[in-house]
Amino acid sequence: MRRRWWLVLSIVVAVLVSGSVAAVAGMRMLSHRYEDAVERADLLPPAPSRSAGAPSEPPKVKGPMNLLLIGSDSRTDDEGDGRSDVVILVHIPKSTKQAYVISIPRDTYLPIATADGERGSRNKVNAAYAWGGAPRLVQTINRFAGITVDWPLIVDFAGIRKLTDLVGGVDVVIDKKSVDRYRFLPDDSPYPSAPCTDPQGRSRRCVAFPAGNVHLDGKLAEFYVRQRRGLPNDDYDRAKRHQQYLRALAEKIADQNLLTDPGKLDKLVRTAAGMLTVDRSMPVQRLALTLRHLRAKDLTFMTLPIAENRNVPGVGAVMVPDAAQCRELFAALREGRLADYVREHPPNDVSHGR
């Protein structure tokens, strides 16, 4: 059950990019509550050794910066025991007026950093987290993209239904009916379903998503973002569903003016922060101030360019990155030219989903 936490991830990002907690009345109290509620761990790789007496660099809170959002069933990162099924790179340009949200599908076939941070053999990107926790995943992304991840964040799945229901659910547009034949419902379930059979050949009811406008409460939203089988492009379409949900959630928060109601905002951010683990040095409050101007309309959603799907002996089904397009993408990111890149390579349309 390693994909349910994505809803929490969505909420955390939506809170961060839908307006800073510092932008409302009672800002300092709420900011300190948020700062104090998050759990802290060593998520960054060891910094290069410095010469004696060399001044240390202050924590980065200005753009450009890169956040790496990591999903986990365990809120702490002590052992890295478990695979992160969704990895998302969020790039904040120097102006901090936009955010580029780049999904890296869990089966992306990349060189995994070794224990000492060098280039290792290729495997699915989520193996990096399983083998060495957040620091090794950060090293893997840094080496592959030629960037520096400034702040990794780990999100646990606990309480996602409560959080989603806290905002009254979200509405999404679905292009075509789909059935998740791996998600079974009881006969008295209120959720849309279709007849199916389980692995033992028994007649069951499976979760179904009709075409058109669909309202997702917490439980149904969890089903929606977790579905993989039954979608035309498998994990690729699931990543787009994640992004669609994130955008819808950010808009819902803005529409309900949660960010201008101190009481409601306090409840939202404390609940979300309670499922967040950040690096020990991450200045949460100052980062929130930096991102306070961002809104849902300022998010650009992308997916790592993929060339092909392939079966690799000993690894399984993988998604092989398009090397040339990835070089172009990350060169644009490093050089502050992502706005030009997305004009040539249109981003994902998250106003609707599969």
Each of the 354 residues of the chain gets a pLDDT tens digit; together they read 333 333 344 445 544 444 444 343 344 555 566 666 778 999 999 877 554 555 667 788 889 999 998 876 444 444 444 556 678 899 999 998 889 999 998 899 999 999 888 999 999 999 999 999 999 999 999 999 999 999 998 876 545 667 778 889 999 999 999 999 999 999 899 999 999 999 999 999 999 999 999 999 988 988 888 888 888 888 888 888 888 887 888 778 777 766 667 777 777 777 777 777 889 998 877 777 777 777 778 889 999 999 999 999 999 999 999 999 999 999 999 999 999 999 999 999 988 887
Q: Is residue 185 part of a domain?
A: no
At 156 the pLDDT is 63
Task: Give a yes or no: residue 106 inside a domain.
Answer: yes
Q: Which helix (H) or strand (E) holds 6?
A: helix 6-17
Contacts of 261 (CB under 8 A, 6+ apart): 24
310 φ/ψ angles, rounded to the nearest 5 degrees: -150, 150
SS3 of residue 5 by DSSP: coil
Q: Is residue 353 part of a domain?
A: no
Nearest to 323 by CA among 110, 112, 119, 132: 110
Place of tokens 């800002």: 27
Cis geometry, peptide bond prior to residue 64 (ω within 30 degrees of 0): yes
Q: Cβ contacts of residue 237 below 8 Å, gap of 6+?
A: 231, 353, 354
154: domain CATH number is: 3.40.630.190
How many domains, the chain?
A: 1
Look up the domain containing 328 and give its range: 6-46+59-173+233-344
The predicted pLDDT at position 337 comes to 97
State pTM to two decimals.
0.84
Quote the pLDDT of residue 3.
Answer: 33
Q: Does residue 184 belong to any structural domain of this protein?
A: no
Residue 101 lies in a domain: yes
Helix (H/G/I), strand (E/B), else coil: 17 = helix
Token duo for residue 24: 């409302």
Q: Give the whole-angstrom CA distance, residue 282 versus residue 35.
A: 10
Q: What is the predicted pLDDT for the residue at 322?
A: 98
Asked whether residue 350 is domain-assigned, the answer is no
Rounded (10°) CA dihedral 333, 338, 340, 342: 120
In a domain, 179, yes or no: no
Q: Distance (Å, rounded) from C-alpha 338 to C-alpha 107?
A: 25
